Each structure stands twice: as C-alpha cells, then as structure tokens.
C-alpha cells in the first residue's frame, strides 16, 4: 500500500512538472545570425576569421561584423 501511494504522488508531481516545462518551450527566443563569419582560435592563442558560406579565411576582423 505504501509503495503504490508513493508512486502515485511521484507520478502526479512529475506529470505536473513536465507539463509546466513543456508549455514554456514556445517562449524561447531564437537567435538569428546576421553574418556568416566565425572566430577560430589558433593554438598559440590568437584568432583568425572564417566565413562559413564562402569558406574565406582572414587574419583581420571582417568589416562591419561584430563578433
């Protein structure tokens, strides 16, 4: 009797917890990327910049792009 009551309580609590969290997934913001550049680290600690669309590599920051 004691086990079945505990299982019912845990089942109801988990169902309520999952139901509350499932409703909040629509409210998450989706980040929209405005550029195709990523900053890639070198092994010595510096960075170079890589364009994921055109596959171009640069040593300096691309103009007009905030990374």
Average pLDDT (46-57) is 92
- Per-residue pLDDT of 11-43, as tens digits, reads 887 877 776 666 555 566 667 767 899 999 999
DSSP string, 24-65: GGGGPPPPPP---EEEEE-TTS-EEEEETTT--EESSPPTT-
User: How many other CB atoms sit within 10 Å of the CB of residue 61?
Assistant: 13
Question: pTM value?
Answer: 0.48
- Closest alpha carbon to 62 in 32, 31, 52: 52
């Amino acid at each position: 009797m004691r086990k079945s009551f505990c299982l019912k309580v845990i089942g109801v609590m988990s169902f309520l917890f999952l139901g509350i969290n499932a409703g909040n997934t629509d409210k998450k913001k989706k980040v929209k990327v405005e550029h195709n550049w990523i900053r890639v680290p070198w092994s010595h600690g510096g960075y170079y910049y890589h364009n994921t669309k055109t596959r171009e590599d640069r040593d300096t920051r691309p103009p007009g792009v905030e990374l």
